[in-house]
Structure 1
Amino acid sequence: MENISIREFYKEIFGDGESKLDYLLDIKNLNDLGHFNVFDTNKFYFSGNKKSEMTYNRRLYYKISLIKGKNLVEFADKTVMIEKQGILFATPKIPYRYSPQAKEQSGFFCVFTKEFLSKSKTGLLIDDFPIYQYNSDFVYQLTDKQYLEIETVFKKMDSELSSDYAFKYDLLRNYVMELIHTGQKLKPMESNSATTNAASRISSLFIELLERQFPIENNSQLMQLKAPIDFATVLGIHINHLNKVLKEITGRNTTEIINGRITEEAKILLKQTQWNISEIAYSLGFEEVAHFSNFFKKNTSISPLKYRN
């Protein structure tokens, strides 16, 4: 699982041309206005510019997708099949995977940064809205009437973005807010949160996130994810569900797996480096040497110094 920035998103579609990317991102106004863009799905995801399937990653931008066509969406502990049409509200909080299940696809999507919507005069931050919380339903089903109404908003955004109206970004923010409020009134898609596929995905991603932090190769390298809640937050799921999944698949809970891997790395560093105990403790995320010593002794029945000697 990777973190995909808005620039990397454009690279996937248009290639590595820096001048083209700077134009699309409007570098001059990016800090002042944030970034916003809107696309016709047919033109950019199904016309040969880019593969249509999106791998399971975290996107560091917000995205609202109006979808017509059969598609599979996997996120957190849920797997949702859009049989006909729906709308997806993606947030940097929740990694997801999106894969079309049929050739016939249409719709629109818009992408924007947190800074873009923070310029709104509502006074609300985007993450204050229920639709962008960790426990959000993420994907919502649409009737034919609802689809056409939302499609109209996207078409207005598409038209406005190419206009020379001096206050067009204020209007575009209003359109985005309209989509958010509309989404919060919608009925969520039914999902199967107990599928083997979802459980296996969560377990695999957890192990990947844990192992990515190792080996510790220098004493300035620090573990970024150490507590179970750190992993649950990155995966976009509740800590209790992460524990349940790992217990079912591995027979151990989150804390046991993390502690076991830290202990294994601590043994390697004690035997294979000349670092002092304080440096090892710091690299493994312990602010105090005493905390590390207690942790190591609890998990090995021997002190770090005795193990080294």
Structure 2
Amino acid sequence: MINIDTITRLHELLGYDKPIHPLITLIDINNIQFSSKYENRQMVVGFYTISLKDGHNCKFKYGRQYYDFSEGSMMFTAPGQVGTVEHTPSDAKGWMLCFHPDLIRKSQLNSKIKEYTFFSYDSSEALHLSEQEEETINNIVNTIKEEINENSDIYSDELIVSNLEVLLNYARRFYGRQFITRNSANKDVISRFETFLTDYFQSKDLVDNGLPTVKYLAGKMGYSTNYLSDVLKKETGKNTQEHIHFQLIEKAKSLLLSTEESVAQVAYTLGFEYPGHFSKLFKKKTGMSPSEYRR
């Protein structure tokens, strides 16, 4: 396991000179001189990365689903994620923008960074850009590059962070477009998800294993937790957790009206360790306690 916790360390591994700015850098993928001894080695990166790779020249695997656009593919990773470096073809094109959390620590972006859920998507859930979208992204990145290369002053970091936020806002907009253009594929995802969740609540898995977690369901569907929740939210208005609660309440209503089991026993049947937690959730979702609903 290789730990890359600073921008300087990253430059060393990639065969780059010492970085101009200690907290942010823009790497030209075509200029990477990565030692073969590091290939297929797992590594943990201590900073955020935003990368754009040319889909025509760079053989990176993104392929769990079809491509909407092939002009370019963007990928985002957050600090602490584990990745594996694979062989980079000699004709690879693109860039990788890396910034340390300390760069945004004192800014408003620090409190908003969790809202950009695509930092936790899998590589197969990359953002595929149209030609116009790619031009927009590259223009912002070039502005950031100019600020990095300029002589630093009291405004430099503030301008860099401001442009980073603009870049992330455009990425969020373009992901929204991608969710729409993948409408038919997304409907298939939703159909499979709802079928799987319904079957789970009807099976003995509920009693044996308890309530399914968001992570468990995303894994069964073959997606990252954030990507699945974002697709569901876009198409149905409810995220993964809200879908779980909906199925739970529907199952609870059926048990309360079709059996004479106590409220506590219903709670245990639904996978709750503490009946009070079930009653609290039921009242929050329906406006009534389980006993009131039964009456």
TM-score (normalizing by structure 1): 0.47
TM-score (normalizing by structure 2): 0.49
Query: Which protein is richer in strand relative to its size?
Result: 1
